Amino acid sequence: MFESFFRNQTVPSQTKIAMLILDGLGGLPQEPGGKTELETAFTPNLDALAARSTLGLTQPAGPGITVGSGPGHLALFGYDPIQNEIGRGVLEALGVDFEVGPDDVAARGNFCTIDHDGLLTDRRAGRLPTEVSKKMVELLRTIKVEGVELFIEPVKEHRFAFILRGSGYEADLTDSDPLITGTAPLTIKANTPGSEKTAAAVNEFLSRARDLLSDQSPANMILLRGFARFPTLPTFQEIYKLNPAAIAVNGMYRGVARLAGMQVLPVKGTTLADEFTALEKYWQTFDFFYLHYKKTDTCGESGDFFGKVKAIEEFDALLPRLLALQPDVVIIGGDHSSPALLRSHSWHPVPLLLNAACCRPEGIAEFGERACARGGLGVIPATYVMPLALAHAGRISKYGA
């Protein structure tokens, strides 16, 4: 909604913005009347920073909407997450660091098991071990379909990413996965004329895969779903006049950051401390840093309340290393809530902290859901975060006279 406006209003500057995203940050009390994960955590550094910051809560895509990390990040980066839908196929490919091109059609793949009549008996082939899956992928890679280039990338267990590269192949296709057992995999159908040659190519691939895998066990067939093409996003350079970098360990986040035009920095190791080391190393080279921390979400999704508390405390302990770099603007927030209570992503608004020399602090010396509910930023769409960061970085010119 703001893209075209900010494209005209942003101005270059020497200021630096650091956006630190704790995945699934928002939580819920584990017991009635209790505290959330963030409220429970001992966070002296965050609390001290909150006291001189302005606080609020972000809504990723709208009221009551639970988002995946893809749309959650798009919103934080300033893109309308509903208008810019990232299809599941593209997310799967991005997740394994496959460089999805503008003409690529991507889908999620599953190895599955069918019986002698061709009916599905297990949609995941007993959650095929990743190592077995990788060998099966090698088999699939031998399949050739005329007119297109095919890429098969192992993901995890029974899952793989399927990418069809050609020219003028649209991606509005039905799934082959019927989502239930006892029925045969479905023939892919085109929903638009422009997708018909895509459907034909994919069906040919599926037919050859069936022949090729027929004597394998337990996985003897594949399912494809979530066909999608890459959304075209204006980059951070174009809209914000920023030179942005991303620090993330997991492929999906690296992929979404790349969509936004960020340079994905190498991280030696996989810990949050390793990510902070990368931040320090490249601090002089870029003026916008997105740093992603996964553990808060992993604990939330597995229902590990105190694991999430501890993950937040680990983040807090490393925060001084960021502050020592003296960023002009610090954003600390999340892409969505992942309350341990619900063991899943949720729609609850997400705590947000914005610090800058020119921010208007409320003087609330606590970073937590209820503290943020009292903050001066209010409950805002997550798409407001980038405009607010840019403004506090002196990067938006006055509108009108």
63 binding a second copy? (CB under 8 A) = yes
Q: What are phi and psi of 145, to 5 degrees?
A: -125, 130
Stretch that binds a second copy, among 56-64, 113-121, 124-132, 273-281 (CB under 8 A): 56-64
What is the pattern of x (binds a second copy, CB under 8 A) and - over residues 219-258? ---------------------------------x------
Residue 228: CB atoms within 10 A of its CB come to 23
**Residue in 24, 244, 255, 375 binding a second copy, rule: CB under 8 A:** 375
Q: Residue 188 CB, nearest distance to a second copy (Å)?
A: 20
392 binding a second copy? (CB under 8 A) = yes
Total chain residues near a second copy (CB under 8 A): 67
Give the nearer residue to a second copy in terms of CB position, either 154 or 375: 375
Q: Which helix (H) or strand (E) holds 298?
A: helix 295-301
388 binding a second copy? (CB under 8 A) = yes
Angle (CA) 110-112-116 rounded to 5° is 150
Residue 107: CB atoms within 10 A of its CB come to 28
Gap between the Cα atoms of 109 and 71, Å rounded: 21
Give the nearer residue to a second copy in terms of CB position, either 68 or 303: 68
391 binding a second copy? (CB under 8 A) = yes
180 binding a second copy? (CB under 8 A) = no
**Residue in 116, 167, 193, 401 binding a second copy, rule: CB under 8 A:** 401
Of residues 69 through 88, those in contact with a second copy by CB under 8 A are 69-72, 81-82, 85-86, 88
Stretch that binds a second copy, among 29-37, 123-131, 188-196, 306-314 (CB under 8 A): 29-37
**DSSP-assigned letter for residue 172:** -
**Residue in 20, 28, 245, 309 binding a second copy, rule: CB under 8 A:** 28
Give the nearer residue to a second copy in terms of CB position, either 218 or 376: 376
29 binding a second copy? (CB under 8 A) = yes
In whole angstroms, what separates CA 135 from the centre of its chain? Answer: 28
3-state secondary structure of 381: strand
Stretch that binds a second copy, among 163-171, 216-224, 307-315, 373-381 (CB under 8 A): 373-381
Give the nearer residue to a second copy in terms of CB position, either 279 or 353: 353
* CA distances from residue 314 to 41, 278, 353, 358 in whole angstroms, order as listed: 10, 17, 18, 28
Q: What are phi and psi of 48, to 5 degrees?
A: -65, -40
Give the nearer residue to a second copy in terms of CB position, either 178 or 394: 394
Of residues 304 through 363, those in contact with a second copy by CB under 8 A are 339, 341-342, 344-349, 358, 360-363
150 binding a second copy? (CB under 8 A) = no
Q: Is it true that the peptide bond before 218 is cis, omega within 30 degrees of 0?
A: yes
**Residue in 62, 129, 194, 269 binding a second copy, rule: CB under 8 A:** 62
**DSSP-assigned letter for residue 211:** H
Stretch that binds a second copy, among 14-22, 231-239, 300-308, 378-386 (CB under 8 A): 378-386
Gap between the Cα atoms of 228 and 103, Å rounded: 10
Give DSSP secondary structure letters for 94-142: HHTT----TTEEEEEEEEEEE-TTS-EEETTTTT--HHHHHHHHHHHTT
In whole angstroms, what separates CA 347 from the centre of its chain? Answer: 16
Gap between the Cα atoms of 55 and 373, Å rounded: 8
Residue 260: CB atoms within 10 A of its CB come to 25
Q: Residue 155 CB, nearest distance to a second copy (Å)?
A: 12
Question: 176 and 225 in contact (C-beta within 8 Å)?
Answer: yes
Site residues (CB under 8 A) for a second copy?
A: 2, 5, 9, 28-29, 32-33, 36, 52, 57, 61-72, 81-82, 85-86, 88, 91-92, 252, 339, 341-342, 344-349, 358, 360-363, 369-370, 373-380, 384, 387-392, 396-401
